[in-house]
Amino acid sequence: MNPHLTSDELGLLVDPTEAEFRSLSQLVYDHFGIHLTDKKKALVRGRLNKVLKTRGLKTFSQYLDTVRSDPTGLALIELVDRISTNHTFFFREADHFHFLRDVALNELRSETEIRIWCAGCATGEEAYTLAMVAQDWAERTGYRGSLRILATDISLTALETAVAGRYNSDRVRLVPQDFKRKYLEGLGEDLWTVSPALRSLILFRRLNFMDQDFPFRQQFHSVFCRNVMIYFDRETKEALVQKICRHLAPGKYFFIGHSESLGRTSSDLEYVQPSLYRKGAP
């Protein structure tokens, strides 16, 4: 082995120093509220080494300087795209969708418009599942109002996948057969695409949960913010819940992931069952 070969020439990963990892973690926390613990160091190293190589950088300090000095903010967006985990699939944690169909939507039959926010929509599977459930409910009950679903995420890469609406068979494996026939179209080669009618119900937008205010004019009847807050520390999570509650209509529902718990972080929310809360009356 040539002792003068660089780590890049050997195909080795560049390790962030402790100081570099702390600086990177603080940068991500300040801008996005994501808490990168030491357990995430290997993930960060693996996902960002490709960026370092593409940019011709040799150290994480050089990379941090590049991100901080980028006046466009695109390097910062690329950073959060790389470290975000967007693994999901249709009908994940399906009991929430059953509750939406059997309880939450049935309480809204007199509304002229039903508004649902899918917060942290990742690559779109959850948003499209919500659209399937809501559209099927409307058809079965004869609901004549409008269905509106807002789906937001911090990752532009994930949102591009969501807007494209194309998924492999593994992602759609839990979709009921009647829903698959109605709302998905096979493209061959293990690929499915979402029907245009379903797409028309959803507006995909980029949103940073750390923004001081959310630009919503009307309150939502249901908010799904599932498997998102596991990346936040207690202080960030409590602040986010309070902001979300401001945009949830009184008496309506807030869904979180089964591995998450709010405890008593918000006096505005009443416990309904594990991973499900309801906003109290004003």
Tell me how long the chain is: 282
Number of domains the chain contains: 2
Q: Which of 83, 117, 134 is the last residue of a domain?
A: 83
Mean of pLDDT values over 232-249: 92
Cβ within 8 Å of residue 273, ≥6 positions away: none
What pLDDT digit, counting tens, does each position of 55-64 carry? 999 999 999 9
Q: Are residues 134 and 188 in the same domain?
A: yes
Mean pLDDT score, 244-255: 96
The structure's pTM equals: 0.85
pLDDT, mean of residues 248-262: 93
Residues 181 and 74 in one domain: no
* Under 8 Å between Cβ of 149 and 200: no
Q: Are 166 and 193 in contact (CB under 8 A)?
A: yes
Query: Does some domain include residue 113?
Result: yes
DSSP character at residue 72: T
Q: Is residue 1 part of a domain?
A: no
Q: Phi, psi at residue 216, to the nearest 5°?
A: -105, 130
What torsion, rounded to 10 degrees, do the Cα atoms 56, 60, 64, 67 define? Answer: 40
- Residues 193 and 225 both lie in one domain: yes
Same-domain pairing of 102 and 201:
yes
Asked whether residue 90 is assigned to any structural domain, the reply reads no
**Coil, strand, or helix at residue 256?**
coil
Residue 139 CB coordination number (10 Å)? 10
Residue 89 located in a structural domain: no
Say if residue 140 is in the same domain as residue 25.
no
**Measured between alpha carbons, how far is 149 from 118 in angstroms, rounded to an integer?**
7
State how far the Cα of 74 lies from the Cα of 51, in Å rounded to an integer: 13
Same domain flag for 79 and 189: no
DSSP state of 228: -
Residue 31 has pLDDT above 80, yes or no: yes
Give, as one character, the DSSP assignment of residue 215: -
Q: Please give the average per-residue pLDDT across 263-275, as a whole number.
A: 79
Note whether residue 175 is domain-resident: yes
DSSP 13: P
CATH label of the domain that carries residue 74: 1.10.155.10
Residue 241 near residue 226, CB atoms below 8 Å: no
User: Can you say whether residue 143 is alpha, beta or left, with left for phi > 0 and alpha for psi between -120 and 50 degrees?
Assistant: beta
258, 264 contact by CB (below 8 A): no
Give a yes or no: residue 194 inside a domain: yes
Q: Residue type for 208, please?
A: N
Query: Based on the domain organization, do 245 and 125 belong to the same domain?
Result: yes
Average pLDDT score over residue span 154-173: 93
Residues 6+ apart with CB under 8 A from 180: 172, 192
Residues 18, 70 share a domain: yes
Each residue's pLDDT tens digit, 74-118: 898 889 888 876 678 999 999 999 999 999 999 999 999 999 999
Check residue 7 and give its pLDDT. Answer: 42
Same domain, 184 and 141: yes
How many other CB atoms are there within 10 angstroms of residue 209's CB atom?
A: 24
Residue where a domain terminates, one of 15, 48, 83: 83
- The CATH number of the domain holding residue 252 is 3.40.50.150
Rounded Cα–Cα distance for residues 200 and 185 (Å): 15
- One domain, residues 115 and 244: yes
49 and 107 belong to one structural domain: no
Based on the domain organization, do 103 and 238 belong to the same domain?
A: yes
The verdict on residue 168 lying in a domain is yes
| CA 85 from centroid of its chain's CA atoms | 9
Domain final residue pick, 40, 58, 83? 83
> Does 210 fall in a domain?
yes
Whether 9 shows a pLDDT value over 50: the answer reads no
The token pair that represents 33 in the structure block: 């509220």
Structural domain boundaries enclosing 20: 7-83
